[in-house]
Structure 1
Amino acid sequence: MNGTSGKCIPKAFLSVALILFLWGCGEKIQPGNKSAASAPAVKARTAVAEMSGQAVVHEAVGTVTARTKAVLSAKIMGTVTAVHVRESDRVTEGQLLIEIDPRTVSAHRKQAEAGLAEARKAYEAAVAARDSAASMAELAKATYDRYVNLMKNESASRQEFDEVAARHRQAEAGLNQAKAMVEAVSEKVRQAEAAVAASRVMDGDSHITAPYEGVITQRFVDPGSLAAPGSPLLAIRAVSGHRVDLILPEHLTPLVKPGLSVVLTIPALSQPKITGTVMTIVPFSDPASRSFVAQVDIPAVAGLQEGQYAKGRLEIGNAERLMVPVNALIQRGQLTGVYWIDPEQKARFRLVRTGSIEGSDIEILSGLKPGDRYILEPNAQIVDGALVEGLS
């Protein structure tokens, strides 16, 4: 008993001491009910979001290409004996570019000339045979006429008259046959003359010349290569100008017409922005990408080269859009927003989704609606929940 009560006395003493300590502290520290001072209103320029008529702009990518270009191919079979140009060489119209061994062409020409000579001799023979047949027919006709008179006077027998009439008909048939032969041989002569003319044209095909002033862009053969009809030899582009081929989605086909102005950006140029005009709409779509090509004519600009990257902006109509100044936007990491003024005149950070930029304005696709008031140029003093005093 004594041991147990001795242990309880210290515990009771500690509890009483703790209560007295807390009571003493309560008397020294009086709780306060001081009201927080109201934050002053922040002055800022505000504006009301509203819809406005804006051009509908579509951006497309494309490639700079030569306005006129060609692949020069062989027309005859033969060995390439000389190539006088390389890539990037500038050439003039009519300049000799490639030579092909002309021996095969020469053999064809000689063969055609021999055929023409043979046809002409056959024609001469046919004409002589026709003239002979004409003489025989004339004699047979005269004999026939005499026997007709003799038959009237009964001075010739019927047998003699029939023989003369048969020879007359035979002579007429022979003359007609001779005339037909002359016509047939005459046609062969014309064919042989055409073959000779073609072979003479082929003589020129052994020399490949530049069709216009331009620049060689590709070389496909070297001396010793075998050229065949249709095989490519050189690629050339004219120096007369360039165009940009823009790739557009097929749903824009009714909206893009020749004559439409296009603002082009070509980063490789010192003057990156130029204005072009839609020249041609390629009349078919790519079934794989569901797109079509618009050929845009562009002015001559220093530094243009085939294959350069280009980006075009096309105005394809007008629409009502909600636009705000770019300066009104606030970037918080990956988030974009504006300070919207609520009915209590307090600034509220509101996320927005943006669209295309037109000059100093940007399109708001969502997050702000017409009639909403927002801060034009937010600064560091403006925070979410701050009271705003709008300035005109």
Structure 2
Amino acid sequence: MKGEGRTYAPEETVETRLVRLPRWHEAVGTVQAKTDTRVEAQVTGRVLKVLVRPGDRVAKGDPLVELDSRALESRLERARQALASAGSALGQARDGLASARATATKAESTYKRMRRLHEQKVVTAEEMEQAETAHAQARAALGQAGDGVTGAQARVAEASELVQQAEIDLGYATIRAQENGEVARREAEPGDLAFPGKPLLVLQTGGSLRLEAMVREGLIARVRIGDTLPVIVSALEGEGDLRGMVEEIEPLADPVTRSFLVKVGLPPAPGLYPGMFGRLMVPVGETEAVLVPDRAVTRVGQLETVMIRTESGWRNAYVRTGERHGDDIEVLSGLSGGETLGVGGGRS
């Protein structure tokens, strides 16, 4: 190459460096929520209102869905009426028990008095037998009255449970968020029938995301739980480069792709959402590379050049660059490392 740079005077000089850089394999994957919570109804009813849409942030306790509560309100009213009836019956049973207890007390007193008189030969055996019979009947009536109170108490307890359950079910007519989160999907609309087991909404409640990537079987040994690896999400503003920690490696490979599912926790990042495409960078070894400060490379169209100091002076040299590494850039051809380059300046 012609040396035209003998009168070139750089503003500064920099050294090229021959270093060892890691080589990476890109395992493609998808950004997923760490925790998805399905919101379901606890009771059966028609959806009256859906109060949120995908992307809405919700706090614990916020109302999400309202169901038609008229049937639940009617059931609660019937349960309360049954409780009131059971309470009235219990009051009557207690009154009957008090009356039976008084009768039994009087019959017992009469029986004891007649027994003393019979021993004294004052009353006949027939009169004594009548008193004994009355006493036995009074005791039996007292036992029946006690059983009546016990049964009435059981019916009150049962009615109370029905009221409590009806009140709980009525509370379920308004479905609320159990945790802070973000609405990921809306799967119900007003008029739909809601019932236990049918999802109405999906909330992302984990507060963080992760990349789920498939790593081929030949490289899985290079990935360990706890490793921190680069993750590239191109859709993010800027470079989209993140650092994620390997949280989980599924122990069984997919029999079709011969790959393992690796789950990498991601740090919070503006614009990062579930469903985005991402790439997990898996280390596969090292390679030698020449690094130079990016400012030492001059670009004119597709051509890239540097100014190299030689024994006979400065000369222009064509180079081909690769990936950036901070303020440096990798030179794929044209330099071998250890050269002195000029930055800035001009010819005099």
Q: Same fold (TM over 0.5)?
A: yes
Q: Residue 304 of structure 1: which of 249, 255, 272 is its match?
A: 272
Q: Residue in 2 aligned with 1:364?
A: none
Q: Residue in 2 aligned with 1:203?
A: 170
Q: 1:325 to 1:243 in 2, by over 3 A?
A: closer
Asked if 2 retains the 8 angstrom alpha-carbon contact of 1:109 and 1:200, the reply is: yes
TM-score (norm 2): 0.62
Q: C-alpha distance in 1, partners of 2:110/2:214?
A: 88
TM-score (norm 1): 0.56
Q: Residue in 1 aligned with 2:88?
A: 121
Partner AA of 1:158 in structure 2: A
Asked if 2 retains the 8 angstrom alpha-carbon contact of 1:261 and 1:314, the reply is: no
Q: C-alpha distance in 1, partners of 2:252/2:132?
A: 78
Partner AA of 1:177 in structure 2: Q
Matched, 1:154 2:103: no
Partner AA of 1:175 in structure 2: L
Partner AA of 2:272 in structure 1: L
Q: Residue 276 of structure 1: which of 238, 241, 245 is its match?
A: 245
Q: Residue in 1 aligned with 2:148?
A: 181
Q: C-alpha distance in 2, partners of 1:254/1:120?
A: 72
Matched, 1:191 2:158: yes
Partner AA of 2:111 in structure 1: Y
Greater RCO, 1 or 2 (C-alpha within 8 Å, sep 6+): 2
Q: 1:225 to 1:325 in 2, by over 3 A?
A: closer
Q: Secondary structure at the match of 1:99?
A: strand
Measured against aligned partners, the alpha-carbon deviations of 1:5-31 in whole angstroms (never above 9, x if no partner) come to xxxxxxxxxxxxxxxxxxxxxxxxxxx
Q: Residue 212 of structure 1: which of 179, 182, 185 is its match?
A: 179
Measured against aligned partners, the alpha-carbon deviations of 1:24-77 in whole angstroms (never above 9, x if no partner) come to xxxxxxxxxxxxxxxxxxxxxxxxxxxxxxxxx999765432233212122333
Larger CA Rg, structure 1 vs 2? 1
Report which of the two has the higher share of strand: 2
Q: Residue 261 of structure 1: which of 219, 222, 227 is its match?
A: 227
Q: Residue 189 of structure 2: which of 222, 236, 251 is its match?
A: 222
Give % identity. Answer: 30
Q: C-alpha distance in 1, partners of 2:128/2:221?
A: 88
Q: C-alpha distance in 1, partners of 2:133/2:25?
A: 92
Matches within 5 A, 1:313-328: 325=287
Partner AA of 2:133 in structure 1: A
Q: C-alpha distance in 2, partners of 1:87/1:155?
A: 97
Q: 1:115 to 1:156 in 2, by over 3 A?
A: same
Q: Residue in 1 aligned with 2:110?
A: 143
Partner AA of 2:44 in structure 1: M
Matched, 1:88 2:55: yes
More off after superposition, 207-216 vs 180-189: 207-216
Q: Residue in 2 aligned with 1:110?
A: 77
Q: Which sections of structure 2, spanning at least 5 residues, go unmatched?
A: 1-23, 290-331, 335-348
Partner AA of 2:32 in structure 1: T
Q: Residue 68 of structure 1: which of 35, 47, 60 is its match?
A: 35
Distance apart, 1:115 and its partner CA: 1.0
